[in-house]
Structure 1
Amino acid sequence: MDVKGLMTLEPLSNLSSLVTLKLLNCGEGLTCRGLQPLLSTGGQLKELRLSFSPKFFSGWEDVEGGGEQQTHFVSSTLHELMTDDAAGFLSAPICSFLSSSLTKLKLCGDWSEGIERFSKEQEDALQLLSSLQELEFWQFHNLQQLPAGLHNLTSLKELAIHSATLSSLPNDVLPESLQKLVIIYGCNEELKRHCRGLEGTIPELIIH
């Protein structure tokens, strides 16, 4: 769905049977206001994919603050999320709300030029996603370090890295639950060499 010009998701908030929502070319003006009814009690949204939405999650606080409606937002139905608003998404209120449902997360760095590492608050928020099984970092071209504390994601089975400038992975970054590590096109040779040294410690290692 091309939603260029749309400022909130309120026009879609009554689509209670919606299971998959893909929003393309969102633009900087679109925020998540109107999203929660789709993935809370009464909603059925399982998969959400967003592109070119650098400020999408900036509207979360406005929704959460909202009076009687807040009591209906008890738990989330969302299983899969792709977003290029990594900075906005990685906040304690959002990750706490999705902690019991989200199993697959793809963070895209299209709007994250210059980011070399995540803040302590963002790292702590990511660790709240206790049900997360698959995590992917896509096109963070300046990222020097993965978020600390990934080893605390005890349900994580697959980690994928695409087009990142990382040269290595910290020794304690990988959780014991990890079954698959994927280093995809665009990563530097130092990272590839480092990950080849992990062969035998992870059941499945894929390096392109």
Structure 2
Amino acid sequence: MTYSFKSYHYNEGNRIFIKIPFNVWDTCGKKGNIPVKAVIEDIIFECKLIPKGKGEYILPVNNDIFNKLSLNGELDVKFTILEQLTRINNNSPYNKDNPIRHIESINYLKQPENGYCGQTCIAMLAGISIDEVIKIMKSKKWQASISKVLETLDYFGFSYKKFVYTQGEKVNFPKCCIINVRSPVKNHLLVYFEGVFYDPTSGVTYDYKYEYIISFIEIIEE
């Protein structure tokens, strides 16, 4: 069953939430942290509803999802309760000791259309087709959230570090990383490898406007 409502977002510390305007215990017959597939403005993601007591719940929204929202007033929200969250790396044939490959070079791939930058970055790193990544990630257009990208890195056995926020400052990037940049419509991901930027939209370049860069995550190649 799908539950639909309109609500506003709010901030609590560094986190973003949407209050669910009905008693979840009474309406859904569920208690505890509830796994759901949520849809906000046609952006689909999975999360767990967080209980606040007496049937009041909030829906957490990560920054990657939040940055894609138009925020022109009330948000159209709906969710479907899941048995459990989908985990991409279930039954993976790879692990940290046996990754899909050791990255010695990058073959540039162009995303098939806007909204597939995350899948395209993973495809370049893994050395496989974008269609294969879409199938494994179970994420289509605009659905490759940062958490999905990290799960897919785990699936392919890639080791990585935490995101480093650059605040627009020029930095010395590690040998291999995924870079998160600002773009006119949505935030955008690209791959950096040995001094070269591989942008799924605009192509290959040896320079990039650092003021557009939000953060990067190092892919560890040992």
Please indicate, yes or no, whether the TM-score normalized by the shorter chain is above 0.5.
Answer: no
Normalized per residue, which structure has more strand? Answer: 2
Q: What is the TM-score when the length of structure 1 is the normalising length?
A: 0.26
Between Structure 1 and Structure 2, the one with more helix by share is 1
Q: Higher relative contact order at CA 8 Å, sep ≥6: structure 1 or structure 2?
A: 2
Give the greater-gyration-radius structure (CA): 2
**TM score, norm. by length of structure 2:** 0.25
